[in-house]
Chains A and B, each alone.
Chain A
């Protein structure tokens, strides 16, 4: 359903600092896939997500969502199909607006923001019901400014906003990394719950290998801007953290060898 073909992204093209961040990514994401993405720093995980969301323009290749080729779409247009949750809890919500105003903006994702009332009375009931599902007591604080909430509460709200209108694909970029362990667990459970209930297609970047194995139905490992491992179903279930580490060191070793071959 989502097709990524020969995706290439180069930073600082033509300068001495040129970096090949993504060197020909090919990925077929099926409807309902919940894919966890792992890889070392600089492997291209966040770059891949940013290229999908449109905050980075791609150098070559194609991104298809459903029947649409979105490769050249600007970020705000892609937001009609793609929603995302950032690592920074402050990025996904607007602190100076109230909870209901944030939700009202999310409830209009991909539609015209015209001169009708920002928060409609009929929406408030829906917002209250959805907020109650988070179990954080936010349903009684519709008029509170989001800036008053904690990082965990903001991240939970961002998740709700990202799924209020069902996206074709949900991008999660280490969205629990900035939270304390207990809150991170809560947000993770909420993530699983929302994805399962709405049968969402999701991509989740994580640094936690156990998490990557526990969650989702498919796992990919990136290294040097390439997909070096793509397992799903039974293969993924059988995989252990040790197996993953072995894979990880294997490619790093190979990269090391090839570097040395170049130098010698």
Chain B
């Protein structure tokens, strides 16, 4: 793997870091399999691209993306809690609806940011090369997001959030409106996914309505790979594992793509197959390890 491929994988890993932390929140903390992210990630990209094109500061555009993603997630939460639609189905409904919404937001299937300001400008203007600037800035952002979630999960609301995922009867009996907790948490998770989309769009220079395909699988793969490799005994450990999992996942993909076996090499079209294999390995590894240890 070349240095550029390595830094590119880091950049992707950190850019998707927000998404992965969001997926951890719904999938692990809330026990809510949420496919909305496939739609909210491109929504974040679209909102960021449109607002930047309209002259909004790129950092401020991240906040717009966050708000839009939060709204999308809240819709899924409301469909699930107020309209009693199964969580998985509720998220799929929001996801396909977002495809149309994203086309409306951009007014076309894709939108370039060529020559427009991005969050990377302050760094590149200071003389840091593009390939170093993006991993550095996105790494700092991801670390801040991790700290934010670590703090949030230890607040009173965070405890209620954890209990909502683990034992809904118990937390209801303690006077917590679990509907509200679910709506806010799924909203926050999708807000994070949208920020990922906004960062990706700014570093790649374009937003595309199809860029969200497979987002949830990538998110789950990162969470599971992280848990398998780094453990999840405490909240802090699990959050760190999810973020590192995102990096490992992107590095594994980059490594596979740079692999050459005689005539054979992987192409980007093999990505889905590779992702599926990676998740299967990560899921079966702990069981295999236990078997080997017992012998």
Contact = CB atoms under 8 A, between A and B. Distances in A.
B174 A118 contact: no
B169 A86 contact: yes
Interface string B131-168: 00000000000000000000010111111101100110
A2 B173 CA distance: 19
Contacts of B159: 97, 101, 104-105, 113, 118
Interface in B188-208: none
B162 A97 contact: yes
Contacts of A113: 156-157, 159-160, 176
A92 B170 contact: yes
B51 interface: no
B171 interface: yes
B175 A111 contact: yes
B177 interface: yes
A79 interface: yes
- B160, B163, B170 — which one has the most chain A CB atoms within 10 A of its CB? B170
Contact of B170 (A55, A77, A93, A111): A93
Nearest to B29: A96
18 contacts: A53-B173, A55-B169, A55-B172, A76-B175, A77-B175, A83-B173, A94-B162, A94-B171, A95-B166, A97-B159, A97-B162, A97-B163, A104-B159, A105-B160, A105-B176, A106-B174, A115-B155, A116-B156
A56 to B, nearest CB: 13
B167 A76 contact: no
A110 B156 CA distance: 13
B175 A109 contact: yes
Interface in A92-150: 92-97, 101, 104-106, 108-118
A198 B93 CA distance: 51
Contacts of B110: none
Nearest to B233: A145
B196 to A, nearest CB: 24
Interface of A: 53, 55, 74-77, 79-80, 83-84, 86, 90-97, 101, 104-106, 108-118, 161
A211 B167 CA distance: 30
Contacts of B177: 74, 76-77
Contact of A104 (B156, B167, B175): B156
Contacts of A108: 156, 174-175
Given A76-B177, A104-B159, A113-B159, 15 more contacts: A74-B177, A76-B172, A76-B176, A79-B172, A79-B175, A86-B169, A94-B170, A94-B171, A95-B167, A97-B162, A109-B175, A115-B155, A116-B155, A117-B156, A118-B156
Contacts of B166: 94-97
Given A94-B170, A109-B174, A117 B155 contact: yes
A105 B171 contact: yes
A261 B39 CA distance: 65
Contacts of B170: 91-94
B178 interface: yes
Contacts of A110: 175
Interface in B239-293: none
Contacts of A106: 174
A91 B167 contact: yes
A19 B170 CA distance: 28
Contacts of B156: 104-105, 108, 112-118
A94 B173 contact: no
Contacts of A118: 154-156, 158-159
